[in-house]
Structure 1
Amino acid sequence: MRYFLMPLCLVLVCLAGCSEEKPPASPASRASRTVSVPVRPVGRSEVVECRSFPAQVESEQSVVLASKLSGTVEAVMAREGDRLAAGAPILRIDDKDLISQERGLIADREQVVREKQGLAARAGLARTTMDRMSRLLVQRAVSQEDFDRAKAEFDAASRQIDALTAKEQAVTAKLGELAALRAYTRITAPFDGILARRYVDQGAFVAAGAQLALIDAASGGFEITAQVDESLLADLRLGQTIIAAVPSLAAAPFAVTVSAIVGRVDPQNRTFKLKCALPATVPEAVGPPRAGMFGRVFVPARTVNKLLVPTNCLALRGDLPTAFTVDATGTLHLRLVKTGGTFLAVAFGGATYLTDSEAFDPAGRERFVEVLSGLNDGEKLACDTGATLRDGDSLAGAPK
């Protein structure tokens, strides 16, 4: 029993020694560090909050050509993307039925003309007979009945001539209608433009009213259009300058002018249509605008006072956003902050516009976070997301 208790006591002593905790190191025992990071002052400022809406670029003059009659597409003379002069052919619809009808009407008109010529001869003879009977009636050489018969024959021939004349006019009008319809079988460009889209190919059957082609004016201007929430209708006016972005046209946002406000609200999505004219020259554009390009418009919603901090001035410790303030001696102090939304800021006309949209490339553009609490107006922050900062660090070059 004595030999058994001695090892047990040794084990308990060892366990008691391992369970002792080391006292935490005091701040004075840490090595003092000097760091070199950028410092930025923070302050509250008035900014314009914007709401962003998807939009697209449209040509100011754009026409959809439709078919006036049914038929088969017989030939296609232009491809999508071609530049077309006014009157240039695009496609042709089969007009064999119209040609057949036209030939039949021409034959009918020729027959009417011949019948009319025969009746004219009969009417001339009837008139001569009636005049003779009139003279003989005065001399009492013929009876009144003979005169009346001659007159009736002349009147009947005259009415038949009038009927044939009306029929000839109807046939002529029908030929004019067919000629107009035949013109609609040749689809041509109404003005100088670009064939943006062709909806049918050779051999396709099209019904009357079917869309055939879309043409955008070559020399016209462009607009950016969007469906905007009805709550902003009262805040917009014609000629107002707002901000737009078209990523494939220019990396940076640019100013546009409100050119039209369609005040009728769509009851399904509670939005109205907004049109803005693109400037003749878009800053930093990589090419000319094209109809159909995706973009966004940023409509001012309200002017507010916010304390905004660049995102690189904050860091997450776990799930908590933190910042390092710099005091007058250049010492860094850790702060826990409460943040709001994240924004992109654009300066135009002396005002700062905020939007939460990433419609334009954010790679070279600074993003900002709204700080709700934890920082005061006028404080300085150490801003460098690549550095590992600690509370108590000293800023290089700061006065001691």
Structure 2
Amino acid sequence: MYHSISINRKSTVVLALATSLVLLLSACSQKEKEKEQAKTEQPKAVSYKTAPVQFINPEYEISVPAELKPYEQVAVFAKVTGFVQKMYVDRGDRVRKGQLLAVLEAPEMQQQYLSSKSSEQKVHSDYLYAKQAYDRLVTASKTTGAVADIELDRAKSAMESAKSAYDASRAGTAHSSQLQQYLRITAPFDGIITQRNVSVGALAGTGSNTPLFMMAQGNKLRLTLSLPEKHAASVKQGMTATFTVSSQPGKTFDAKLSRTSGLLDQQDRSLTLEFDVNNPSGELQGGDYAQVKLKLQRKAPSYWVKSKSVLNTQSGMYVLTMNNDEVKRVAVNEGIRLDTLTEVFGNLSPEDKIIIKPSEEIKEGKINK
């Protein structure tokens, strides 16, 4: 019996030892798992490739469409009413300033002129008589008591009245003469007749909305273009441009800036530029479309980053800076694109480093290295 009790006690001891060993091994295993899990949960070291922001003022080139227009273009109307008597030019004729283009006929104007001239001569005779009478009274008044002062004043008033009537009549005659000059239609400048709208015998004048001729200057042209708003601040007075026209492929022409509109167009937010183009040989034609190349430069340096550094999101446009291992998102506005660089405007400094390949997943704040 004692032997049986001894065996039971040994079994109990062994079982207790085994249980303790299992618990010890389980605890050790749990600690190892916790250590592994802790290692796994530690943040990974990250690094981003950066490039310094550039504070530069490069010259850049853009290409914009333009139009060649005549330097001067006008519709030639008749200033007085009359019938077309003669036509001296036709479409395509080149004319000189002051050259006679057409003659109108208005017989009533000649009669009006003759009437005005006759009236002028009569009034002139009246004036001469009044002046002669006044001069005589002045001579007689030198003898004391020969002429009353009131008679002298009356004669002087009559003479001045006659002179005023003569001046008015002479102005009326000049007016009639000038109207006759308007019957002769002359060229206002050197150019080419682009349209002839009437024929001999047609009634022309102030009551007609149809011009006799359309005329344009061809030896000098205006190259006109609309420059987008973002380039407007880069325009310099006297800047040069090169352009081509589709009618003469492979040939390049030069021009110099003559004037700008000074203000942005409210419709398309653009600045109108005009270049004067001398065309003495008539090589270029007004109305041609041209493609213009401009070399522009900002008036002051600005910030430039690599084009792929600009992050365009639904909430706006950003670049990501990384200074002293800290990522920061900076809102920017895009300017000009130049090769692989893009001009940006925002709260940047020359010492900033820009993340080259940004993404929306990159969070602001310190990074682990």
TM-score normalised by L of structure 2: 0.52
Cα drift, residue 159 of structure 1: 1.6
Equivalence for 1:112: 123
Contact 2:82 2:183 in 1 (8 A): no
Q: Which secondary structure does the structure 2 equivalent of 1:173 belong to?
A: helix
Residue equivalent to 1:64:
74
The structure with the largest alpha-carbon Rg is: 2
Query: 1:171 Cα shift?
Result: 1.6
User: Within the alignment, does 1:52 sit opposite 2:50 as a pair?
Assistant: no
Matching residue of 2:114: 103
Q: CA 1:193/1:118 → structure 2, altered by over 3 Å: closer, same or farther?
A: same
Please name the residue that 1:293 is paired with.
288
CA distance in structure 2 between the aligned counterparts of 1:118 and 1:163, rounded to whole angstroms? 12
Q: Mapping of 1:133-172 within 5 angstroms?
A: 134=145, 148=148, 151-172=149-170
CA-CA distance at 1:79 after TM superposition: 0.9
Partner of 2:7: none
Kept in 2: contact 1:258–1:276 (CA 8 A): yes
C-alpha deviation, 1:164, in angstroms: 0.8
Amino acid aligned to 1:119: A
- Aligned residue pairs total 242
Q: Cα–Cα, structure 1 residues 125 and 80, in superposed 2: closer, same or farther, change >3 Å?
A: same
Partner of 1:182: 180
Change in Cα spacing, 1:243 to 1:253, as seen in structure 2 (3 Å) is farther
TM-score normalised per structure 1:
0.49
Query: By how many angstroms is 1:239 displaced?
Result: 4.1
Gaps of 5+ in 2: 1-58, 298-303, 308-337, 340-369
Report which stretch shifted further, 86-95 or 272-281: 272-281
Q: Match of 2:230? A: 231
| C-alpha contact 2:229 2:270 (8 A) present in aligned 1 | yes
Query: In the superposition, relative to structure 1, how do residues 96 and 59 fare at CA in structure 2: closer, same or farther (>3 Å)?
Result: same
Q: 1:264 to 1:83 in 2, by over 3 A?
A: same
Q: Does residue 78 of structure 1 match 2:77?
A: no
Q: Deviation at 1:280?
A: 6.6
Q: Structure 1 residues 106 and 193 mapped into 2: Cα distance closer, same or farther (>3 Å)?
A: same
8 Å CA contact 1:64–1:212 kept in 2: the answer is no
1:72 and 1:93 in contact (8 A); partners too: yes
One-letter amino acid of the structure 1 residue matched with residue 74 of structure 2: V
SS in 1 for 2:79: coil
Report the aligned-residue RMSD: 4.2
CA offsets, 1:165-198, max 9 Å, x none?
Answer: 1111122123223333433332212444322344
1:241-320 correspondence runs (5 A): 241-248=240-247, 250-252=248-250, 254-260=252-258, 261-278=260-277, 288-298=283-293
Q: How far has the Cα of 1:84 moved from its partner?
A: 1.6
SS state of the match for residue 265, structure 1?
Answer: coil
The structure-2 alpha-carbon separation of the partners of 1:176 and 1:166, relative to structure 1 and needing over 3 Å to count, comes to same
Aligned-pair distance for 1:81? Answer: 1.0
Give the CA deviation at 1:234. Answer: 1.9
Identity across the alignment (%): 19
Q: Which amino acid aligns with 1:155?
A: D
Other-structure match for 1:36: none
Change (3 A) 1:176 1:51: same
Answer whether contact 2:220 2:280 (CA < 8 A) is retained.
no
1:291 CA drift (Å): 1.7
Q: Which runs of 5+ in 1 are unaligned?
A: 1-46, 136-146, 307-350, 353-400
